[in-house]
């Protein structure tokens, strides 16, 4: 018989930070989901790497009753069958797994590398941005000369559109998680020297072309389908979601990207993009995807350490620029 | 074959538990908004509980059968008729080729009805499920709601005669009301770190009005001025409801700024707002029967022990033991 209702706090259990391991909080998300969080609410890609280490560990452990895992920036949502696997037992198993995860420095995360062609400040995003100015907000400060890309430049203290493009192409983009819309990636720059940031649209934009790419805060997203959106657009790429599975890349399922993929932009013209998009749909284009790569976190952290002065210099430049730029 | 004469407001093919296993690729499970009525409909016609069947929202479905089958309609009362004669709810009946099913609109209470036939609505499997995901436009019948002229194939229906006249015992038929009590658990992001204890007390004691603007993605509740336990979302954004994006449990209560929204079958899988409570498996079905713009909800807080006991009880109810003969 159920006992008289006595409330559960939302936190089931915690682990204090110890050595390399961040603090861990285990939260109820109803009776079928559990939410695990690492560390503090800060943007730190090493937390995301640890999430992937944990994800691998959970998969390897093959825990009876775990249905699926949803990695995000510093958290992981786990769906489980609480009738087969009591919550307490799942938490104990997860706590033990924390000891089994190698320190972040020793993690090697399986990570595919994908080159995607990108037409910067292209005609298709331009058209929807112009519609926004016409029908939604005529005085939008984030639209300069009919596009967002000059605003991105000025907000980050970059001298022109060319420098924005140079920055965006200078780093690989780490797909921390997929969500909201089927196949929509949340990507962050692996090279923080090129970590541009922007505020979001206000109000949001009712139209965005499929394949548009934009940035909101520090995060870059590709729009899998034509939809409303709030990110500052800087270009358009090829499809990452195709229901009709017209290209071999979509044969297994209509969603191309996975968490832990790395994306590299390759600059093309509008005409070139249009030609490639046609070949995607007639099935002859081969996505430039390298399957068997890993991200070595130790090497990556050494790299971060080697560039920290340059990162700080860019952040000062951004902080100075922001003072003079209106927020939408 | 099931020939659609009128599709109604929104009639979709669903299965249960839907498209499970794709949350990490951004895809919520779809499936029925009321899994109790859905599963019982299948049980009545001798299908396994998850078999593809129709979810009829509000009403307006009109269709003709071209095969002999067993049919069951469950859920909200929409004055369903077969060849103009009233069709009992929660009970299986035989249909012959040429028979015409017609559903008008919901009466006083309830919002969705379910139509199961022996042998299933035979739509293709897409990523492991036949459920229609209305947001992505995939699954089910051509990824969309049914409309006039659609001809939906039906699977083989065997043993028809012994499946006619099966009823869910009247005492087990759920009462539909305009004020609902829905069991939920606190969290993942509640008090004391995101909201105040007083906020949560309000949440679990207020009669929340269901907003007119509700659908298979989200069931919106009225906005509320929360006290909040913090002044901003820090790096995640200026508002204290903002967090760094995380996965959303299905059937969680997402607090977007001031407005709570229950994320339901076709909702977003991930986002940057707190979720202060999550409905329990045994109670999510009630959400499918809420009438937008009219009904109110009181959330009743339960423990994990109570939630799992209710889950066992619900699953036990949807079984042969609950069926009698009319």
Q: CB pairs below 8 Å between A and B: how many? A: 191
Tens digit of each residue's pLDDT, chain B (326 residues): 999 999 999 999 999 999 999 999 999 999 999 999 999 999 999 999 999 999 999 999 999 999 999 999 999 999 999 999 999 999 999 999 999 999 999 988 999 999 999 999 999 999 999 999 998 899 999 999 999 999 999 999 888 999 999 999 999 999 999 999 999 999 999 999 999 999 999 999 999 999 999 999 999 999 999 999 998 887 777 788 989 889 999 999 999 888 999 999 999 999 989 999 999 999 999 999 999 999 999 999 999 999 999 999 999 999 999 999 86
Q: Which helix (H) or strand (E) holds A161?
A: helix A161-169
Instruction: List chain A residues with CB under 8 Å of B248.
Output: 77
CA distance A67 to A56: 14
Task: Give the best residue of A29, A43, A44, A328 to mutate against chain B (max B CB count within 10 A).
Answer: A29
- The SS3 call for residue A93 is helix
Domain range list for chain A: 11-101, 113-322
CB contact under 8 A, A184 and B234: no
Computed from CA positions of residues A49, A54, A58, A61, in that sequence, does the dihedral angle turn out positive or negative? positive
Q: How far apart are the CA of A175 and the nearest CA of chain B, in angstroms?
A: 12
Are the CB atoms for A257 and A220 separated by under 8 Å? Answer: no
Q: Is the ipTM of this complex over 0.95?
A: yes
From residue B273, how far is each of A6, A14, B18, B236, B264 by CA, in Å? Answer: 27, 22, 25, 9, 16
Among candidates A294, A300, A283, A249, which has minimal Cα distance to A116?
Answer: A249
Which DSSP letter does residue A249 get? G
| 3-class DSSP assignment, residue A224 | coil
Element (H, E) at B253: strand B252-256
- CB proximity B48 to A under 8 Å: no
| Interchain contact, A7 vs B186, CB within 8 Å | yes
Residue B71 bridge partners (DSSP): B93, B117
pLDDT in tens, B273-287: 999 999 999 999 999
Q: Where are the beta strands (DSSP E) in chain A?
A: 11-15, 24-28, 33-38, 66-71, 75-80, 108-110, 113-120, 173-178, 185-189, 212-216, 219-222, 232-236, 262-267, 288-290, 294-296
Q: Which two tokens stand for residue A327?
A: 């927020």
Are the Cβ atoms of A5 and B310 closer than 8 angstroms?
no
How high is the pLDDT of residue A54? 96
Q: Is B17 on the interface with A (CB under 8 A)?
A: no
Radius of gyration of chain A measured on its C-alpha atoms: 22
Token couple for B88: 């009992």
Say what the pLDDT of residue A5 is: 41
- Please, are residues A179 and A70 in contact by the beta-carbon 8 Å criterion? yes
CA proximity to A3, closest of B2, B116, B310, B184: B310
**Coil/strand/helix, residue B88:** coil
Between chains, do A178 and B305 touch, taking CB under 8 Å as contact? no
**Contact at CB, A28 and B25, closer than 8 angstroms:** no
Predicted pLDDT at A4: 39
- Chain A residue numbers touching B300 (CB-CB < 8 A): 5
CA–CA separation, A291 vs A303, rounded Å? 23
**Per-residue DSSP letter, A30:** S
Superfamily name with CATH number, domain A113-322: Cyclophilin-like (2.40.100.10)
pLDDT of residue A327: 86
Reported as a single tens digit per residue, the pLDDT across B38-80 is 999 999 999 999 999 999 999 999 999 999 999 999 999 999 9
Does the beta-carbon distance from B247 to A75 stay under 8 Å?
Answer: yes
Strands of the sheet with A66-71, listed across from one edge: A11-15, A24-28, A33-38, A75-80, A66-71
Q: At what angle do helices A45-61 and A87-100 cross, to 10 degrees?
A: 110
Q: Is the pTM value of this prediction over 0.80?
A: yes
The whole-angstrom distance between B255's CA and the closest CA on chain A is 14
Q: Give helix then strand counts, H and E, for chain B.
A: 4, 21
As to burial, measured by CB atoms within 10 angstroms (0-12 exposed, 13-18 middle, 19+ buried), residue A59 is exposed
Please give the distance of CA B132 from its chain centroid, rounded to a whole number. 12
What is the structure's pLDDT at B234?
Answer: 77
Same fold, A11-101 and A113-322: no
Antiparallel, parallel or unpaired: β A294-296 and B85-86? unpaired
Distance CA A265, CA A246 (A): 23
Chain B: closest CA distance from residue A67 (Å): 7
CA–CA separation, B215 and B213 (whole Å): 7
Closest CA–CA distance from residue B97 to any residue of chain A (Å): 34
Which domains, ranges and CATH numbers included, belong to chain B?
2-172 (no CATH), 179-317 (2.40.100.10)
From the CB of residue A187, how many other CB atoms can be counted at a distance below 10 Å? Answer: 23
Residue B120 near residue B15, CB atoms below 8 Å: no
Shortest distance between the Cα of B140 and any Cα of chain A, in A, equals 13
Report pLDDT for A153: 97
| pLDDT on residue A2 | 37
Mean pLDDT over the full length of chain B: 96
> Which letter, b or e, does each residue of A4-21 get, where b requires 16 or more Cβ atoms within 10 Å of its Cβ?
eeeebebbbeebeeeeeb
Contacts of A32 in chain B (CB under 8 A): 249-250, 281
* pLDDT tens-digit series, residues B26-38: 999 999 999 999 9
Q: In what order do the strands lie in the sheet with B2-6?
A: B85-86, B81-82, B100-102, B62-65, B2-6, B151-152
**Which pLDDT score is estimated for A1?**
35
Return the pLDDT at A73.
92
Residues 6+ apart with CB under 8 A from B250: A32, A33, B28, B29, B263, B264, B265, B267
What is the bridge-based pairing of β-strands A113-120 and A262-267?
parallel
**What's the CATH code, domain A11-101?**
3.30.1360.40
Rounded-to-integer distance, Cα A17 and Cα A104, Å: 14
Q: What token pair was written down for A328?
A: 């939408």
C-alpha separations of A75 from A22, A24, A150, A294 in Å: 12, 9, 34, 21
Sequence-separated (6 or more) residues with CB below 8 Å from residue A276: A117, A238, A268, A285
Q: Determine whether the interchain pair B235/A67 forms a contact, defined as Cβ–Cβ distance below 8 Å.
A: no
Give the pLDDT of chain A (328 residues) as one tens digit per residue.
333 344 789 999 999 999 889 999 999 999 999 999 999 878 888 899 999 999 999 999 999 999 999 999 999 999 999 999 999 999 999 999 998 888 888 889 999 999 999 999 999 999 999 999 999 999 999 999 999 999 999 999 999 999 999 999 999 999 999 998 899 999 999 999 999 999 888 888 989 999 999 999 889 999 999 988 889 999 999 999 999 999 999 998 899 999 999 999 999 999 999 999 999 999 999 999 998 899 999 999 999 999 999 999 999 999 999 998 988 8
Most B CBs within 10 Å: which of A3, A6, A10, A239, as the mutation test of the B interface?
Answer: A10
């Amino acid at each position: 018989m159920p006992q008289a209702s006595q409330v559960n706090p939302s936190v089931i259990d915690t682990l204090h930070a110890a050595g390399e391991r961040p603090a861990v909080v285990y939260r109820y998300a109803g009776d079928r989901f559990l939410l695990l969080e690492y560390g503090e609410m800060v943007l730190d890609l090493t937390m995301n790497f640890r999430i992937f280490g944990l994800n691998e560990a959970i998969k390897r452990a093959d825990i009876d009753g775990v249905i699926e895992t949803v990695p995000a920036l510093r958290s992981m949502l786990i769906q489980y069958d609480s009738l087969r696997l009591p919550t307490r037992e799942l938490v104990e198993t997860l706590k033990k797994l924390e000891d089994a995860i190698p320190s972040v420095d020793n993690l090697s995360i399986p990570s595919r590398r994908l080159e995607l062609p990108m037409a910067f400040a292209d005609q298709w995003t331009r058209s929807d941005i112009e519609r926004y100015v016409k029908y939604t907000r005529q005085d939008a400060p984030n639209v300069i000369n009919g596009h967002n890309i000059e605003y991105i430049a000025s907000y980050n203290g970059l001298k022109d559109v060319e420098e924005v493009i140079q920055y965006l192409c200078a780093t690989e983009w780490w797909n921390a998680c997929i969500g909201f819309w089927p196949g929509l990636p949340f990507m962050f720059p692996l090279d923080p020297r090129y970590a541009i940031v922007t505020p979001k649209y206000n109000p949001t934009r009712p139209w965005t072309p499929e394949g548009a790419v934009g940035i909101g805060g520090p995060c870059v997203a590709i729009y899998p389908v034509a939809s409303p959106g709030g990110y500052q657009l800087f270009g358009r790429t090829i499809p990452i979601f195709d229901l009709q599975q017209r290209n071999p890349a979509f044969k297994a399922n209509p969603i191309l990207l996975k968490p832990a993929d790395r994306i590299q932009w390759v600059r093309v013209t509008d005409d070139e993009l249009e030609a490639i998009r046609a070949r995607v749909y007639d099935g002859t284009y081969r996505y430039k995807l390298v399957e068997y790569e890993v991200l070595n976190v130790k090497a990556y952290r050494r790299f971060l350490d080697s560039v920290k002065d340059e990162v700080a210099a860019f952040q000062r430049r951004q902080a100075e620029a922001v003072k003079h730029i209106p927020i939408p | 074959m099931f020939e659609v004469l009128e599709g109604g407001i929104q009639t979709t093919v669903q299965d249960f538990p839907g498209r499970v296993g794709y949350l990490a690729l951004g895809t919520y499970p779809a499936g029925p908004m009321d899994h109790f009525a859905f599963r019982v409909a299948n049980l009545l016609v001798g299908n396994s509980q998850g078999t593809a069947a129709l979810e009829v929202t509000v009403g307006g479905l009109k269709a003709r059968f071209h095969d002999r089958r067993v049919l069951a309609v469950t859920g909200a009362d929409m004055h369903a008729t077969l060849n103009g004669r009233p069709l009992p709810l929660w009970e299986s009946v035989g249909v012959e080729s040429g028979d015409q099913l017609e559903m008008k609109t919901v009466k006083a209470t309830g919002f969705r009805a379910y139509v199961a036939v022996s042998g299933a609505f035979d739509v293709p499997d897409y990523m492991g499920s036949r459920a229609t995901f209305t947001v992505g436009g995939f699954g089910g019948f051509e990824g969309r709601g049914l409309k006039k002229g659609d001809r939906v194939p039906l699977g083989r229906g065997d043993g028809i005669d012994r499946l006619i006249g099966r009823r869910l015992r009247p005492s087990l038929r759920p009462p539909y009301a305009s004020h609902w009590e829905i069991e939920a658990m606190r969290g993942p992001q509640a008090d004391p770190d995101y909201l105040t204890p007083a906020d949560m007390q309000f949440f679990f004691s207020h009669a929340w009005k269901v907003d007119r603007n509700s659908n298979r993605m989200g069931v919106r509740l009225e906005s509320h001025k929360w006290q909040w336990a913090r002044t901003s979302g820090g790096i995640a954004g200026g508002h204290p409801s903002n967090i760094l994006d995380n996965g959303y449990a299905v059937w969680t209560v997402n607090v977007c700024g001031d407005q709570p929204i229950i994320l339901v079958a076709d909702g977003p899988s991930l986002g940057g707002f707190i979720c202060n409570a999550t409905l329990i498996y045994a109670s999510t079905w009630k959400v499918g029967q809420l009438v937008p713009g009219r009904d109110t909800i009181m959330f009743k807080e339960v423990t994990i022990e109570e939630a799992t006991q209710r889950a066992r009880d619900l699953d036990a109810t949807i079984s042969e033991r609950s069926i009698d003969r009319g």
